[in-house]
C-alpha cells in the first residue's frame, strides 16, 4: 500500500482547508445532502483516509460498506486503468462487451444456491431492489410486496416505500408506491416475547393472510442483517422459516444483500449463515470497490420471464465498473477476505464486550464478521440514547477515527472497516472508542 497505514493528526478535525471546502459545499450543494464528517478527502487506501489538511484518519466506515477490498485497491486500479484507455461506454444494450458477461457468470456461480441463474447489472442498490420487484411481479403476475420493520432499501419512489424509517428518508416525499406491506422483524434485543423467531414469523404470516392473501404476494424483500436499521441480525430461524413459507406459497424471496454482501459478514453473502437460498439476491455497495455498480441475480425462470427490452438502463454494467467488480472478486478470493472479515469480528467483539461491562450505556454488542454495532441506551434500561451516541461520535471524529451511526432510534454506532485494514489500526481505533466512552 502506498499510503502510510497510520493515524496522523496535524490540525483539528476538520482542519482549515476542509472548512474552506465545506463553506463552498454549502453554497453549491443542497443541504439535503448530509455530511457525516466534513473532512475533504484527497487520498485513501488500506485502513486510512487522508484529508486536505494532511490528516490521516482510521476508517471504520468503508464509505458505507463499499470499499471492502480497500480504497483504490491495487487490482481495481490496474483493471480500471487499462479499461479507461480502451473504451469507457458503449451501452451494453447497444453493443455488448465481455466483462459484463463475466461479472454475471461469476455472480451466478458465487451467490447461494446451485440452481440455474441469470444476472443483470444496474447502477445502485435502490435500482437493484426496484428491478427485483419488477421481475417478481412480472413472473408471478401478483402485485403485493412484503417488507419488514427496520428495513432500508433505498431512496427512489418504490424503495422509499419499502424502507421503514420516516426521518430522514421519507418525510415530505410522499405519496409512496402502493401495494407495500410491512411485517415485524425478529429483533432479538427489543422483541417483547421469549421466542422472537417463531413469534415474529407467526405475526408476519397472520398479517399476510389477513391483509393481503398469500396468493397476491409477489415478493418478500428482506435484508439478512438490517443495515441502516441498526445492524439487526434477525433471530436465528426467522429467515429460513420465511424462505420456506415463500417457497410453499409461490412468493419470490428477495434477499437485499446490498450492504451485507461481498465478504462483509464473514461469509461471501450473509444468507449463507443459515443456508438460506434466495430466489433473487440484490447486490451493490461492496461489489466494485466504489465504482457505481449493482446486480440482480435470480432463478433463470423468473429472470427470463420478462420480455426483451423490459429491463435495462443506459449505464448499467458500465465497463469500468465491471472491470472493478472482476478485480474485487479476484481480491476477495486471493486475499481470503472472508476469513479476514471473521478475524476482524474476533478482534472487535471481545473488546466491545469488555467495554459493555465497563460502560452501562452500551446495551448490546452485535454483528457478524466485519459488520459490527453497539446499541446505546440509558443505563439499566433499553431506552434509546441518541444523545450519548452523538457525543461519542464527536469525540471519535476529533481523534481521527471515522465512525458511522445507524438505527431506527438513532442510537447505534456501526463499524464497517475495510476488510484489508491492518490489525494495529483496528486496535488503535477500538482504543479511541474506549477513550471516548470513558
Q: Which residues bind ligand PLP (CB under 6 A)?
A: 124-126, 129, 152-154, 223, 227-228, 256, 258-259, 284-285
Question: Whose Cβ is closer to ligand PLP: residue 126's or residue 362's?
Answer: 126
Alpha-carbon distance 234 to 58, whole Å?
30
Q: How far is the CB of 153 from ligand PLP (least distance, A)?
A: 5
Question: Whose Cβ is closer to ligand PLP: residue 227's or residue 407's?
Answer: 227
Q: How far is the CB of 414 from ligand PLP (least distance, A)?
A: 11
Q: How far is the CB of 325 from ligand PLP (least distance, A)?
A: 14
Question: Whose Cβ is closer to ligand PLP: residue 128's or residue 204's?
Answer: 128
Question: Whose Cβ is closer to ligand PLP: residue 83's or residue 124's?
Answer: 124
Question: Whose Cβ is closer to ligand PLP: residue 264's or residue 342's?
Answer: 264
Length of the chain: 438
How distant, in Å, are the alpha carbons of 118, 124, 171, 177, 206 from that of 109? 10, 21, 40, 33, 36
Q: How far is the CB of 371 from ligand PLP (least distance, A)?
A: 11
Q: How far is the CB of 224 from ligand PLP (least distance, A)?
A: 9
How distant, in Å, are the alpha carbons of 81, 201, 215, 292, 387 from that of 85? 7, 52, 52, 18, 50
Q: Which residues contact 1 (CB under 8 A, 6 or more apart)?
A: 45, 46, 70
Alpha-carbon distance 284 to 131, whole Å?
13
Q: How far is the CB of 162 from ligand PLP (least distance, A)?
A: 9
Q: How far is the CB of 324 from ligand PLP (least distance, A)?
A: 15
Question: Whose Cβ is closer to ligand PLP: residue 103's or residue 126's?
Answer: 126
> Hey, which bits of 150-215 come out as E strands?
180-183
Task: Give φ, ψ of 147 to 5 degrees.
Answer: -125, -175
Give the residue among 235, 209, 212 at the shortest CA–CA distance from 224.
235
Alpha-carbon distance 243 to 315, whole Å?
32
Question: Whose Cβ is closer to ligand PLP: residue 226's or residue 430's?
Answer: 226
Rg, Å, the chain Cα set: 21
> Which cell is 161 given?
416505500
Q: Do β-strands 280-283 and 252-256 pair in parallel, antiparallel, or remain unpaired?
A: parallel
Residue nearest to ligand PLP (CB): 125
Amino acid at each position: 500500500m502506498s499510503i502510510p497505514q497510520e493515524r496522523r493528526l496535524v490540525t483539528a478535525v476538520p482542519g482549515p482547508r476542509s472548512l474552506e471546502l465545506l463553506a463552498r459545499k454549502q453554497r453549491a450543494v443542497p443541504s439535503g445532502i448530509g455530511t457525516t464528517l466534513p473532512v475533504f478527502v484527497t487520498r485513501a487506501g488500506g485502513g486510512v483516509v487522508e484529508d486536505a489538511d494532511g490528516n490521516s484518519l482510521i476508517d471504520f466506515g468503508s464509505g458505507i460498506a463499499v470499499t471492502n477490498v480497500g480504497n483504490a485497491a491495487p487490482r481495481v486500479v490496474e483493471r480500471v486503468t487499462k479499461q479507461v484507455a480502451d473504451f469507457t461506454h458503449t451501452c451494453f444494450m447497444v453493443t455488448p462487451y465481455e466483462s459484463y458477461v463475466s461479472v454475471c457468470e461469476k455472480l451466478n456461480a458465487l451467490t447461494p444456491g446451485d440452481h440455474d441463474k441469470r444476472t443483470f447489472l444496474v447502477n445502485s442498490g435502490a435500482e437493484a431492489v426496484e428491478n427485483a420487484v419488477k421481475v417478481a411481479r412480472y413472473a408471478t403476475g401478483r402485485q403485493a410486496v412484503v417488507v419488514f420493520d427496520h428495513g432500508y432499501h433505498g431512496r427512489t419512489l418504490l424503495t422509499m416505500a419499502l424502507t421503514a424509517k420516516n426521518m430522514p428518508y421519507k418525510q415530505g416525499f410522499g405519496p409512496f408506491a402502493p401495494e407495500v406491506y410491512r411485517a415485524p422483524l425478529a429483533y432479538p434485543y427489543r422483541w417483547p416475547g421469549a421466542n422472537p423467531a417463531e413469534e415474529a414469523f407467526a405475526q408476519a404470516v397472520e398479517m399476510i393472510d389477513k391483509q393481503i392473501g398469500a396468493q397476491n404476494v409477489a415478493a418478500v424483500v428482506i435484508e439478512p442483517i438490517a443495515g441502516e436499521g441498526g445492524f439487526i441480525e434477525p433471530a436465528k430461524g426467522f429467515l429460513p422459516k420465511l424462505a420456506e413459507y415463500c417457497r410453499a406459497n409461490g412468493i419470490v424471496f428477495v434477499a437485499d444483500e446490498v450492504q451485507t454482501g461481498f465478504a462483509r459478514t464473514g461469509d461471501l453473502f450473509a444468507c449463507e449463515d443459515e443456508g438460506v437460498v434466495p430466489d433473487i439476491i440484490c447486490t451493490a455497495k461492496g461489489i466494485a470497490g466504489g465504482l457505481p455498480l449493482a446486480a440482480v441475480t435470480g432463478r433463470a425462470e423468473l429472470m427470463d420471464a420478462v420480455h426483451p427490452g423490459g429491463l435495462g438502463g443506459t449505464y448499467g454494467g458500465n465497463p469500468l465498473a465491471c472491470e472493478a467488480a472482476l478485480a474485487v472478486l479476484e481480491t476477495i478470493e486471493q486475499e481470503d477476505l472472508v476469513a479476514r472479515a471473521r478475524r476482524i469480528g474476533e478482534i472487535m467483539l471481545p473488546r466491545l464486550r469488555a467495554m459493555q461491562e465497563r460502560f452501562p450505556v452500551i446495551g448490546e454488542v452485535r454483528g457478524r464478521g466485519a459488520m459490527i454495532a453497539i446499541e446505546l441506551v440509558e443505563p439499566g434500561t433499553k431506552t434509546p440514547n441518541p444523545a450519548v451516541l452523538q457525543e461519542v461520535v464527536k469525540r471519535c471524529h476529533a481523534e481521527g477515527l471515522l465512525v458511522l451511526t445507524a438505527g431506527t432510534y438513532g442510537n447505534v454506532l456501526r463499524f464497517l472497516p475495510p476488510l484489508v485494514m491492518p490489525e494495529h489500526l483496528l486496535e488503535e481505533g477500538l482504543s479511541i472508542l474506549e477513550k471516548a466512552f470513558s
